[in-house]
Amino acid sequence: MKNLNQMLKQAQQLQAQMGEMQKRMEEVEVSGNAGGGMIQVTVNGKGDLKRIKIDPALIDPKEVEILEDLIVAACHDAKTKAEAQTQEEMSKLTGGLNLPGGMKLPF
């Protein structure tokens, strides 16, 4: 029974640490870009879009589709970077423990 109590205590500590990490990730900002840096988007660690910067040279009413595609690409780049950073922070907390697919913390 002592081991079970110890495991429960460790799980509670890990859950508290996860909550703290999630709060920190909301404050982290990650930038992604496309078009050689002519489009830049910034997201937080949760993937929420914060800012978009567009080089004025790209603004041409005849090429709106290109601009739209570049914005989507920059958003994808930023989201991928934010997810990688979140995964890195998660790995630090779990000591590299790889959880099975679909299993997330906190429980």
Domains of the chain, residue spans: 28-82
Would you say residue 100 has pLDDT above 60? no
pTM reported for the whole predicted model: 0.68
CATH architecture assigned to 28-82: 2-Layer Sandwich (3.30)
Would you say residue 1 has pLDDT above 70? no
Would you say residue 96 has pLDDT above 70? no
What pLDDT is attached to residue 76? 94
Dihedral, 4, 10, 12, 17 alpha carbons, nearest 10: -170
Q: Please report the DSSP string for 11-24 in residue order.
A: HHHHHHHHHHHHHH
Q: What tokens were used for 95?
A: 């000591």
Average pLDDT, the chain: 84
